[in-house]
Amino acid sequence: QVQLVESGGGLVQAGGSLRLSCAASERTFSSYAVGWFRQAPGKEREFVALISRSAGSTRYADSVKGRFTISRDNAKNTMSLQMNSLGPEDTAVYYCAVSLVMGFPDHPRDYNYWGQGIQVTVSS
């Protein structure tokens, strides 16, 4: 069982930046791909970014490509999401998650462990 805890959310003005962090409870964290998802009110949870277990590969949703950067530190069992040029459309609850699926899973059903979520609000 992997427990995940997000931090770093909050309120920011449009054009600003935030950095989200996710801490994992297990050393086996380094064996899995990890990702970030978000869910806005009234919408389905959507993929934001993922990073492979070795940190050698990343994938991003088109809506955040060029603005967000995902990274991980396996020695510290942590991962991060640097978010720049934020807009009101980025307002959502953000979740970090761990997947036991091989490859580059970008659907919520492919993720086995989830954090509790953290609010990001971007004001216009």
Encode pLDDT of 55-85 as tens digits.
889 999 999 999 999 999 999 999 999 999 9
In sequence order, what are the residues at sequence separation of 6 or more whose Cβ sits closer than 8 angstroms to the Cβ of residue 7?
Answer: 20, 21, 22, 23, 118
Q: How far apart are CA 53 and CA 84, in angstroms?
A: 24
Token pair belonging to 76: 């510290």
DSSP strand pairing (46-51 vs 58-60): antiparallel
Average pLDDT over residues 28-39: 91
